[in-house]
Amino acid sequence: MIGRKGKFRGGLLAAALIMMFSSLAGCGGNNNNAAPAAEEAAGAEASASPAAAEPAADPVTVKLQLKWVPQAQFAGYFLAQDKGYYAEEGLKVEILPGGPDIVPEQQVAGGSADIGVDWVASLLTSQEQEMPLVQIAQIFQKSGLVLVSKKDAGIAGPAGLKGKKVGNWMGGNEFEILALFDKYKLDSNKDLNFTKQGFTMDQFLGGEIDAASAMTYNEYQVILESGVKAEDLNVIDMNDEGVAMLEDNLFANKEWLEANKETAAKFVRASLKGWKDAIADPEAAVDSVMKLAEEGSTTREHQLTMMTEVAKLIQPEGFDASRLGYTDAAAFQQTADIALKFGVIKTASKTDEAYTNEIVEMAAK
| DSSP line for 17-73 | HHHHHHHHHHTT---TTHHHHHHHHHHHHHHHSGGGSPPPPPPEEEEEE-SSSSSGG
What's the total number of domains in the chain? 2
Positive or negative CA dihedral for 267, 270, 272, 278?
Answer: negative
| pTM (two decimals) | 0.83
Q: Would 47 be classed as within a structural domain?
A: no
Grouped pLDDT means (10 residues each) for the chain, 365 residues: 35 36 37 44 46 72 97 98 98 96 96 97 96 98 98 97 97 94 97 96 98 98 97 98 98 98 98 98 98 95 98 97 96 97 96 97 97
- The residue out of 237, 259, 284 marking a domain boundary is 237
Task: Please indicate, yes or no, if residue 292 is contained in any of the structural domains.
Answer: yes
Q: Indicate whether 157 and 270 sit together in one domain.
A: no
Tell me the C-alpha distance between 199 and 218, whole Å.
11
Residues 300, 207: one domain? no
Q: Are residues 133 and 149 in the same domain?
A: no
Residues 347 and 255 in one domain: yes
Let me know if residue 16 belongs to a domain: no
Please indicate, yes or no, whether residues 121 and 223 belong to a single structural domain of this protein: no
Do 267 and 318 share a structural domain?
A: yes
Element (H, E) at 104: helix 104-109
Out of 189, 207, 237, a domain closes at: 237
Q: Which residue, 256, 245, 10, 262, is CA-closest to 109?
A: 256
Per-residue pLDDT at 64: 98
Q: Is 355 part of any domain?
A: yes
Among 185, 211, 237, the domain-final residue is: 237
Domain-embedded: residue 4? no
For residues 126 and 267, membership in a common domain is answered with yes
Residues 271 and 349 grouped into a single domain: yes
Domain that holds residue 138: 60-142+246-364
Residues 161 and 183 in one domain: yes
- Taking the C-alpha atoms of residue 313 and residue 140, their distance in angstroms, rounded to an integer, is 5
Pair 135, 149 in one domain: no
Q: Counting Cβ atoms within 10 Å, is residue 240 exposed (0-12), middle (13-18) or buried (19+)?
A: exposed
* CATH number of residue 135's parent domain: 3.40.190.10
Q: Residues 159, 181: one domain?
A: yes
Alpha carbon separation from 248 to 37, 109, 140, 254, 332 (Å, rounded): 67, 18, 5, 19, 12
- Asked if residue 24 is part of any domain, the answer here is no
Q: Is 265 exposed, middle or buried (0-12, 13-18, 19+ CB in 10 A)?
A: buried
**319 found inside a domain:** yes
- Whether 333 maps to a domain, the answer reads yes
Shared domain for 250 and 292, answered yes or no, is yes
